[in-house]
Structure 1
Amino acid sequence: MIDQEINLPPANFEELYENAVDISSRMAAQNLIIAGPENRAIMEAVDQAYQDGLIMPYLVGDREEILKIVEELNLNLDNYKIFNAVEASSKSLKSVELLTTEGDILMKGLISTSTILSTFLDTGKELLKRETLSHLILADIPILDRLIFISDGGMNISPDFQAKKAIISNAIEVAKNFGWEKPKVALLAAVEKVNQNMPETVEIERIISEFDECMIGARLDGPFALDLAISKEAAEIKGVNSPVAGEADILITPEIVSGNLLGKSSIYFGGGKIAALLGGVVKPVSIPSRAADKETRLASIAAAVIQGSRYNE
């Protein structure tokens, strides 16, 4: 448990990492389970986080391959724990088992997200907060003055009404772990008005009518086109008066295609960086791309550490 208030939410990934270091200076380092760490960028990020006092590393993977990378990087593994597992399914199973028994947080390494998810659903049900799990991106985009969440661009293909409500709830809960006391949630569509020919706008209207702002501790509004959700100027020009318009903390997309495109465009068009998190679980799970670089991995670890500190309060 930390003994003083966390100064959150952070404005960018640099502040995110600084906050994680500050938190870790006031509590024990958290046990990080890495499922499939046989990669230089992963090991460099893990060792940096370990050296900065954020985590105690649990490496679950091919011991021989891990030791080759360790030798190349000249790392000291004195306080590391290694669990030998060669097949992806074995890595996932052992990682979820360790998270259940002694781990604080888990990060996906060189195994697929689908493999991790299958393991959670098959053997890690005690780690689930709700039946619908969801993929959240925490994006640091230079053009914005804040971090922003995007969901769901990596898991639920075409969520029905109940799944969409769970995705929203997952995102709100995760955002609160980072210090957003009352996050502003924009439900995205192509237009800002309900149109019977656009089923997603009709669904958004129903979702908003069923969510109680006082109960969920968040502000929901929509439908919003993307510009209205993130640009105050666009909202003013179009005459949209909403506490969410232009100031959204969370963007909820209609389905996986738009969510995936939005998340990746924040990198390749927006010059940003992203960390990926799993929503709907009782312990933090970081699910960055297998191709993620060291900086992205560090941001993912920092995000999980901050979440973990909240869960341990």
Structure 2
Amino acid sequence: MKSLDELVEAIDRTNRQTVAVAQAADLEVLKAVKMALDQKLARFVLTGEESALKKCAADAGLSLDHSDIHWKRAEAGESARLAVQAVAEGEADVLMKGHVDTKTLLQAVLHKEYGLKKRKVLSHVALFEIPGRDQLIYLTDAAMNIQPTLEEKVEIVHNAVEVARKAGWDNPKVAALAAVEAVNPKMPASTDAALLAQMNRRGQIRGCVIDGPLAFDNAVDREAAEHKNIQSEVAGQADILVVPTIETANALYKSFVYFAHAKVAGVISGAAAPIVLTSRADDAQSKIYSLALALKASQS
């Protein structure tokens, strides 16, 4: 797959899934909902305050009477709970953030009674279309885990691989990043990367091929890998970049977007259903890309 538009086109329109939007009274979110309905990507459960939702829907040119919309009136504090419960009870397949803060939404996701927690770790999985590059590339984790332990990195890899495989990457190539490609006991990122690779070789992490430690250039550029004589299935052709800390991921993420002008889709993985957790600054088209990735990731 070479573009995010191809990802959108790959969505099954014959058996559409349902997306529950928490506090849907957000102009760009409802523009994305309208775009998704026009393209027959999904059906929607919208939660939120009636007056605010009606006003935003009118501004977005969206009719709340649409046959593929079911909306639930809720005060601001209840909208996240209702959206999460809609997913937990099988009424929806994907959870999407609207005009609600991330903390409130994740508190509902992690609620012991009606929440959606499945794995030990929730992590952010981003998929980038970078101009001049002939393939899409994943990056994890740029939003959830600050300084993950080795055990948490294993879960982060599992989450990213699950998303990638469901989106069409068979046996994705995973690069565990560090500052260098040699193991250095003084650099924990390099030892963790080597352990992830060894765990993969021994079958403790399945469904992918992992190599590391790899510096960023050796992970994404074949000439750089060949120059250092790195013999690897992953080096120079990574599908998934796994970073050591959130600072590394944050810098790469924003470099891709602001310097390389990349398009991006992003989801939270590790819950019982994918979560679309885009920035309020993202436009409707960006939200469509993230929604498409979540719909692919929710497939059984």
TM-score by length of 1: 0.89
Residue 164 of structure 2, aligned match among 175, 199, 204: 175
Contact 1:143–1:270 (CA under 8 A) maintained in structure 2 = no
Partner of 1:207: 196
Using the TM superposition, give the Cα deviation of residue 37 of structure 1 relative to its aligned residue in structure 2, in angstroms: 2.0
Q: Residue 216 of structure 1 aligns to a residue in which SS?
A: coil
User: Post-superposition shift, 1:73?
Assistant: 3.2
CA distance 1:124–1:169, change in 2 (3 Å) = farther
Cα 1:281–1:77 shift into 2, 3 Å: same
Counterpart Cα distance in 2 of 1:213 and 1:262: 30
Alpha-carbon offset, residue 194 of structure 1: 0.7
Displacement of 1:33 in angstroms is 0.6
Matches within 5 A, 1:1-313: 10-20=1-11, 23-24=12-13, 26-27=14-15, 29-78=16-65, 79=67, 80-87=69-76, 89-101=77-89, 102-123=91-112, 127-212=116-201, 214=203, 216-308=206-298, 310-311=299-300
Q: TM-score, normalised by structure 2?
A: 0.93
Residue 212 of structure 1 deviates from its aligned partner by 4.1
Distance of 1:40 and 1:126 partners within structure 2: 27
**Cα deviation, residue 76, structure 1:** 2.0
1:64-86 deviation per Cα after TM superposition (whole angstroms, max 9, x unaligned)? 11111222233222222222233
RMSD: 1.7
CA distance in 1, matches of 2:78, 2:179: 43
- Taking the aligned partners of 2:283 and 2:115, their CA distance within structure 1 comes to 31
Q: Aligned equivalents of 2:114 and 2:170: distance in 1?
A: 28
**C-alpha contact (below 8 Å) 2:84/2:115 kept by paired residues:** no
Q: Which amino acid in the other structure matches residue 234 of structure 1?
A: A
- Give unpaired runs (5+ residues) of structure 1: 1-9
CA offsets per residue over residues 245-292 of structure 1, 9 Å max, x none?
A: 111010000011111111121101110121111111232221111211
Contact in 2 for aligned 1:139/1:274 (Cα 8 Å): yes
Given the superposition, is the C-alpha separation of residues 289 and 242 from structure 1 closer, same or farther in structure 2, using an over 3 Å criterion? same
Q: For residues 177 and 200 of structure 2, what CA distance do their matches in structure 1 show?
A: 16
Supply the AA of the counterpart residue of 2:145.
Answer: N
**Structure with more helix by fraction:** 1
- % of aligned pairs identical? 35
Where structure 2 has 5 or more consecutive residues not aligned to the other structure, the ranges are: none
User: Greater shift after overlay, 73-82 or 102-111?
Assistant: 73-82
Deviation track 1:192-216 (CA, whole Å, cap 9, x = no partner) reads 1111221111122222222346560
Contact 1:151 1:171 in 2 (8 A): yes
CA contact (8 A) 1:156 1:255 kept: yes
Q: Distance in 2 between matches of 1:124 and 1:257?
A: 33
